[in-house]
Structure 1
């Protein structure tokens, strides 16, 4: 893809995302908050902006990643990554041991050995396959599932300002993906990454700005930041800068001004 191809996909995705958010928000009746009695306009604007920020994962980053990848030769898998209905004891014990070890100081496991240990224990299911699978519980699924050349890629986008609880949950999620996938496809190949779509502290490394340097999540091997993900999807170097340009161009063109004005006016 050329830069213009990428920019068009980005612009179309941003515009659709904002328009859909506004359409859905205008249908909702605002709930009363006590600060409405003191600063009603400011409180409601904050609510709108907060809602828009919170929706970006599913309304913008996820469809954008899929759209770019689809144009770069990836198969976008539109289904859930299923987990065993009853997790076998050997696999369950391995997963729990890894989690406990990775959350402790000076543990034996790292990202690579965690992945290998899970795949190794799942080799037992070649001979005795698991016959019942179900959707994983909320928060443990895959947002973006891509496939190319026999490799399955699992991604989930997260807030760019994660706390310790979020980071611990991210590790659980990646380890869970491997246990789900290999329990059903022990001979397959999977790569799982948590995605932080941009760096909110561009003056320094993303990981230097995150609590504990991101632990227990391992940078790059279990989490990608900014262009580590966007360039992978698009096959083009510097994709995040194109995304930023698209935002600037949309603002300068006024393409979303009417939509945003209506959204704000309805809530003031």
Structure 2
């Protein structure tokens, strides 16, 4: 990562934080305001900033790195036909159920999911596909990052670094929906979908820390999740990309960038 790109990313981070705090107010009352007014305010502001970084920083930076690495950024949404093919919907529902419930103690791989969905999609009448009216997918099921390279479409959603058990079921359904929605329109599309965890907050391996949740989750761990450099190095095409991104946060800390927002955090 050259100096120009690092400076560009660092400036993007500063802009992202400034935009979040622009006219930011914490107005909802919590009973702990009466005991820890400053601390509760800080917690609320930082929690909101952490959430906002997904769309205002992590997502655009991943697209920038990917574009430099030769990926095409697909801006169009994956649309859904208003009359979704019943056979494809049935297969989607079956896969969601089988991955969540593991009948006969069997975990369905992502490769098998793709094969089954493609086989059903291939039987759809091309005239029916051409006649469909396509609309935006239901809220919460869209793709954050849609890349294309060497004939393969890559679909990502950036998620919190510490998902709970229920989140893994949502991830599973979301990715299977992406596959089904995309195949409904282009039955021979080559697709790879993953949940991206932008950084590892734990002292040990993220996978080791989340082992019990992952074991009981519906996901195919070898295929469905990338953590930290697994994701960032794929986007950039270089190694240890996250360490370079983290260094920019460290630089801003050393430059006392936080002092810009003292009046917001410590209002009288």
TM exceeds 0.5? yes
4+ residue runs over 6 A deviation: none
Counterpart position of 1:221: 223
| 1:220 CA displacement | 3.6
Q: Which moved more, 1:95-104 or 1:119-128?
A: 119-128
1:1-268 residue pairs with structure 2 within 5 A?
2-23=1-22, 26-28=23-25, 30-105=27-102, 106-107=105-106, 109-125=108-124, 127-130=126-129, 131-203=132-204, 205-210=205-210, 211-213=212-214, 215-254=217-256, 256-266=257-267, 268=268
Q: Which has the higher contact order (CA 8 A, sep 6+)?
A: 1
Q: Provide, for residues 163-210 of structure 1, a one-character-per-residue CA deviation record: whole Å limited to 9, x for no partner.
A: 12100000001101000111101122111111111112242x212212
Go from structure 1 to structure 2 and tell me whether the alpha carbon gap of 1:13 and 1:129 turns closer, same or farther (over 3 Å shift). Answer: farther
The CA distance in 2 between the partners of 1:22 and 1:15, in whole Å, is: 11
Task: Give 3-state SS (helix, strand or coil) of 2:154's partner.
Answer: strand
Q: TM-score, normalised by structure 1?
A: 0.91
Q: Give the Cα–Cα distance (whole angstroms) in 1 for the partners of residues 8 and 192 of structure 2.
A: 25
Please list the CA deviations of residues 219-253 of structure 1 after superposition, one character each: whole Å capped at 9, or x if unmatched: 24111111111001111111011111111111112
Structure 1 runs not aligned, ≥5 long: none
Distance 1:43 1:246, change over 3 A: same
CA distance in 2, matches of 1:175, 1:41: 43
User: 1:30-58, CA deviations, whole angstroms, 9 ceiling, x for partnerless residues?
Assistant: 22222222211111111111111121211
* TM-score between both structures, scaled by the size of structure 2: 0.91
Contact 1:158 1:195 in 2 (8 A): yes
Select between 186-195 and 9-18 the one with higher mean Cα deviation.
9-18
Query: 1: CA distance between counterparts of 2:262 and 2:85?
Result: 54
Report deviation, 1:6.
Answer: 4.6
Q: Tell me, yes or no, if the aligned pair for 1:231 and 1:237 is still in contact at 8 Å.
A: yes
SS in structure 2 opposite 1:159? coil
Alpha carbon RMSD of aligned pairs, Å? 1.8
Preserved CA contact (<8 Å) 1:193 1:222: yes
Cα distance in 2 for partners of 1:126, 1:198 equals: 44
How many residues in Structure 1 have an aligned counterpart in Structure 2? Answer: 262
3-state SS of the aligned residue for 2:155? strand
C-alpha spacing 1:52/1:188, structure 2 compared with 1 (3 Å): same
2:6/2:248 contact within 8 Å kept? yes
